[in-house]
Amino acid sequence: MRKGELTRVAILDVALNLASRDGLEGLTIGLLAEKMQMSKSGVFAHFGSREDLQIEVLKLYHSHFEQEVFYPSMKAPRGLPRLEAMFARWVKRVTVEIASGCIYISGAVEYDDRPGAIRDALVGMVRAWQEALLRCVRQAVEMGHLRADTNPQQMVFEIYGLILALHHDARFLRVPGSVERAQSSFERLIASYRTPAADAAAE
């Protein structure tokens, strides 16, 4: 990459770290310029506005999420094995974000009632991930891994709830054993939907 492109990548990396810690609204050009040892105008030269910077940070976070969680999980067999891989990798990422923070979760708090381009981008990314989970659940039903009367939307709601509870208890309350509780809860959730045929195949 050219020098300007390298500088832009470096700015985004620092901006992502700052946004993970302080939230997207805590990300300012002044703070970023200070961290990069650049002038404010130097930072602005790479992004048209603070909002453009925030959206680019969101895109970078989403890309990291896809690379760490979504794409590797697609290598697992379709159906329940893939859903289990998605959850396992999601939990693994959350264990890292216990210290650094999750932009999806902090962003939902910051922009839940604040319309605009940032909220739209954030909602689109979260919905894309939920749609991936929904497809996986539907495939598991079609393949006979989960009961035919499984409600995919309900199941994804419950899975998402486990991750939110994990992040809350581990990061905010600092409760020991939160990861293990989330994993145990997921196993019980799957057991409540799993078919006898899937149990037999797993043995």
By CB atoms closer than 10 A (0-12, 13-18, 19+), residue 134 is middle
Distance (Å, whole) CA 74 – CA 197:
23
Question: What value does the mean pLDDT of the chain take?
Answer: 93
Tens-digit pLDDT profile for residues 176-202? 999 999 999 999 999 999 998 776 555
Tell me the HSE value of 169 on the side-chain side, using a 13 A CA sphere.
Answer: 14
What distance lies between CA 40 and its chain's CA centroid?
A: 30
Question: What value does the mean pLDDT take over residues 34-63?
Answer: 92
Distance (Å, whole) CA 190 – CA 60:
32
| For residue 92, pLDDT beyond 90 | yes
- Percentage of the chain surpassing pLDDT 90? 81
Structure tokens at 169: 């208890």
Q: Mind listing the domains of the chain with CATH numbers?
A: 50-202 (1.10.357.10)
What distance lies between CA 173 and its chain's CA centroid?
A: 20
Distance (Å, whole) CA 192 – CA 203:
17
Tens-digit pLDDT profile for residues 158-178? 999 999 999 999 999 999 999
- The pTM of this model reads 0.91
| For residue 101, pLDDT beyond 90 | no
Structure tokens at 78: 């379709």
What distance lies between CA 112 and its chain's CA centroid?
A: 16
- Percentage of the chain surpassing pLDDT 70? 96
| Close Cβ partners of 1 (under 8 Å, ≥ 6 residues apart) | 9
